[in-house]
A and B are shown apart, each in its own frame.
Chain A
Amino acid sequence: MSSHAVTADHDSHAHHDPNLQHHFAEMEQQFECSKIGMWLFLATEVLLFGGLFVGYGLMQGQHPEAFKSAHHHLDWRMGALNTIVLLVSSFTMVMAVWSAQTNNQKALIRNLILTIGCACTFMVVKYFEYSHKYHEGLLPGAFYSYTGPHQNAEFVFFSFYFMMTGLHGIHVTAGIVVLCYLLVQARKGAYNASYYTPIDLTGLYWHLVDLIWIYLFPLFYLIS
């Protein structure tokens, strides 16, 4: 494609989309490029959590009895509740993307609010779980000060528990911040059927956060 052809094409529509950046030929190309970038970021996220999953797998293999005994301190009902909350938030997130795709502004705003609500619920449940463990002294590494009957390597379990659910919680919190930004922008009518890239990319991030929790839940709450 010669530069002449591009210029001619560019001049041909006087009213091109204001969201189209000059280095992209068309909206679809811009969208697909952004999406590849997001998937590359998600790849780094998978590997970031992957290191912790590998560590968990190895240490669980070293101390199976301690891990089994330590997991009884976690309430699986809290974990199940949070799993359901996150799955529902993934649904409302994908519905927010769908609303943007179909130009439904009201549904977009409603679904963003619902997603933020679910995310906050998740963090509130997490807060109650963490404060319970803090008061019991079920803390990672050298901070482990639980006085009840326990096995010596249980602190290893809680090191992984706080590291992995903590890192996950940071991701949920970051998601809430981004979703709030999207909500503000959506109220201004920034997104429509031809431009919803930020909604779609945040959706991808949000689903990955959900996907990681899908593995965290059985590994921490349900090992038997």
Chain B
Amino acid sequence: MSQHTHSHDSHGGGHHLHGGPKVYGTVLAALLALTLITIGASKIDFGSPSANVIIALVIATIKATIVALWFMHLKYDKPVNGMIFASTLFFLALFFAYPYIDTNSRTDVKPSNWKGPAYMPDSGSAVRGIGANFPVAPAPGTKPVAPAEHH
């Protein structure tokens, strides 16, 4: 690698050259193809709504990884930049995990001393949740449901 020795030249600059139009063009083609696959997959019913969401997110993650490795140069970079990014994603995962585990391990996500409306009508079924205390403008044609008394 003649370029390697050159980079230690006192004239500076001389970063290792990686990538190039051919590599980036291929990456763009792959990203566009994956976009088409995402759209196609959203039109197919994979059995459950969560299966479709998971498939869409897996494809999005493949795309994001490609962008990070080639366009953001993490593939060629010093590991420290990738480690910053990876640790960010780790903390994001923690951020997501705790509220998710919390709200999924209780049938009623309202605090025990909750004084607001007991439920918010949502397609006829009682809706529990964080959003239950938002004001809802009654839609014309639908009978506004008075908030039930909470004991």
Chain A residues with CB under 8 Å of chain B are: 9, 12-13, 16-17, 20, 26-28, 31-32, 35-36, 39-40, 42-43, 46-47, 50-51, 53-54, 57-59, 61-66, 68, 76, 80, 83-84, 87-88, 90-91, 93-95, 98, 101-102, 141-142, 144-145, 147, 149-153, 155-156, 192-195, 203-204, 207-208, 210-211, 214-215, 217-219, 222-224
Contact = CB atoms under 8 A, between A and B. Distances in A.
B10 A26 contact: yes
Contact of A59 (B32, B67, B130): B130
B137 interface: yes
Interface string B73-100: 0000110110011011101100110011
Given A46-B88, A46-B92, A142-B135, A211 B20 contact: no
Nearest to A206: B71
B120 A153 contact: yes
B111 interface: no
Q: Which of B68, B77, B139, B140 has the most CB of A within 10 A?
A: B139
A28 B98 CA distance: 41
Nearest to B109: A62
B133 to A, nearest CB: 12
Given A20-B12, A62-B127, A76-B39, 8 more contacts: A63-B131, A66-B123, A87-B31, A142-B135, A147-B140, A207-B71, A223-B53, A223-B56
B21 A222 contact: no
Interface of B: 7, 10-15, 17, 19-21, 24-25, 27-28, 31-32, 35, 38-39, 42-43, 45, 49, 52-53, 56-57, 59-60, 63-64, 67-68, 70-72, 77-78, 80-81, 84-85, 87-89, 91-92, 95-96, 99-100, 103-104, 109, 120-123, 127-131, 134-137, 139-141
B9 to A, nearest CB: 10
Q: Which of B39, B57, B103, B120 has the most CB of A within 10 A?
A: B39
B32 A87 contact: yes
B136 A152 contact: yes
Main secondary structure of the interface of A (DSSP, over half): helix
A171 B7 CA distance: 35
A98 B120 contact: no
Given A102-B17, A224-B49, A152 B131 contact: no
Contacts, number: 198
A31 B19 CA distance: 18
A27 B14 CA distance: 9
Contacts of A83: 35
B123 A210 contact: no
Contacts of B12: 16-17, 20, 26-28, 194
Contacts of A91: 24-25, 27-28, 71
A207 B67 contact: yes
Nearest to B104: A61
A204 B7 CA distance: 22
B67 A222 contact: no
Contacts of B137: 142, 144-145, 155
Q: Which of A46, A90, A214 has the most CB of B within 10 A?
A: A214
A218 B84 CA distance: 26
Contacts of A208: 72
A65 B123 contact: yes
